[in-house]
């Protein structure tokens, strides 16, 4: 706020055209910094909040297929612009329940973070596929891309705060961290491995709610 205020005051002073250009750059960067700080605070508050409130309502257990569909719909324009295909695996049985322990909006954010990362590492005309696999008492959700794979120097730290690669990085390196703390909080696990066909699989596994 102080930096932005300073810049704004400066803009009402007599200043050369060149100076004004620099001022605009400064203001733009200050705005960018503000939104980064906001995102960091959001991730930390989500972490604190989720540790505070473990009372998940089994009645409201989200359906992983439904969540994947919502994410698909929301991300389709971004995939289209980049000429990357986003699809749900045709082998997924659409008429059964895919309920998991969790909470709908956070589950969608987890899938969305993974799909966004996959998009950022996909070249035009490739495909990102979301798969759901029943593992008796758990459900595995996988996001498969056809990208270059995970940089080896990054592989061990990927789910830590602020871990980012050199290429295809997103905003601040909190996406996978958020995914991990959320999935683990619900009694699940998350990981990644290279795919035989090339590309990377990011997966997470969540328990089915009791009585489902
Ligand atoms: N599908 C993928 N293929 C290759 N590398 C990936 C993939 N997904 C993530 N990564 C690497 O992991 C890093 C960490 O991912 P993460 O989602 O935590 O951060 P980010 O995408 O860079 O930023 P943010 O999610 O905050 O916008 C990325 O910077 C990228 O280098
Ligand atoms: Mg990300």
Task: Indicate the SS3 state at residue 85.
Answer: strand
- Same domain membership, residue 75 and residue 13: no
Burial class (CB in 10 A: 0-12, 13-18, 19+), 85: middle
Q: What is the pLDDT of residue 65?
A: 98
Question: Please, which residues have CB within 8 angstroms of residue 164's CB and are 6 or more apart in sequence?
Answer: 154, 170, 172, 173
Question: Is residue 95 domain-resident?
Answer: yes
**Interval between CA 157 and ligand 1 midpoint (Å):** 11
User: What pTM, to 2 d.p., does this model score?
Assistant: 0.84
pLDDT, greater one: 125 or 12:
125
Please work out whether the CB of residue 164 comes within 6 Å of at least one atom of ligand 1: yes
For the chain, what is the domain count?
2
Q: How far is CA 150 from the centre of its chain?
A: 16
Q: What pLDDT digit, counting tens, does each position of 91-102 carry?
A: 999 999 999 999
- Same domain membership, residue 176 and residue 93: yes
Both tokens of 191, joined, read 């990981």
- Same domain membership, residue 123 and residue 46: no
Band (55; pLDDT cuts 50, 70, 90): low
Q: What pLDDT digit, counting tens, does each position of 134-190 carry?
A: 999 999 999 999 999 998 888 889 999 888 888 878 878 889 999 999 999 899 999
**Interval between CA 145 and ligand 1 midpoint (Å):** 13
Q: What pLDDT digit, counting tens, does each position of 17-41 carry?
A: 999 999 999 999 999 998 888 888 8
- Same domain membership, residue 67 and residue 8: no
Range of the domain at 190: 56-207
Nearest CA to 104 out of 138, 140, 139, 68 is that of 68
Question: Is residue 212 domain-resident?
Answer: no
Question: Is residue 45 domain-resident?
Answer: yes
- Same domain membership, residue 61 and residue 46: no
Residue identifier of the C-alpha nearest atom 7 of ligand 1: 117
């Amino acid at each position: 706020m102080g930096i932005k205020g300073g810049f704004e005051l400066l803009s009402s002073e007599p200043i050369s055209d060149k100076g004004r250009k620099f001022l605009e750059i400064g203001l733009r960067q200050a705005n960018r910094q503000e939104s980064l700080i906001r995102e960091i605070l959001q991730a930390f508050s989500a972490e604190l909040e989720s540790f505070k409130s473990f009372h998940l309502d089994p009645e409201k257990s989200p359906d992983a297929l439904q969540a994947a569909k919502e994410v698909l719909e929301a991300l389709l324009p971004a995939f289209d612009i980049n000429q990357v295909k986003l699809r749900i695996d045709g082998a997924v049985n659409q008429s059964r329940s895919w309920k998991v322990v969790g909470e709908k909006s956070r589950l969608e954010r987890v899938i969305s973070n993974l799909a966004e990362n996959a998009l950022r590492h996909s070249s035009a005309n490739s495909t990102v596929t979301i798969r759901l696999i029943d593992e008796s008492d758990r459900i595995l959700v996988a996001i498969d891309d056809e990208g270059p794979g995970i940089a080896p120097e990054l592989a061990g730290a990927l789910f830590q705060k602020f871990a980012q690669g050199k290429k295809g990085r997103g905003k601040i390196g909190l996406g996978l961290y958020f995914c991990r703390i959320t999935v683990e909080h619900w009694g699940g696990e998350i990981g990644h491995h290279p795919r035989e066909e090339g590309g990377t699989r990011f997966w997470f596994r969540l328990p089915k709610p009791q009585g489902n």
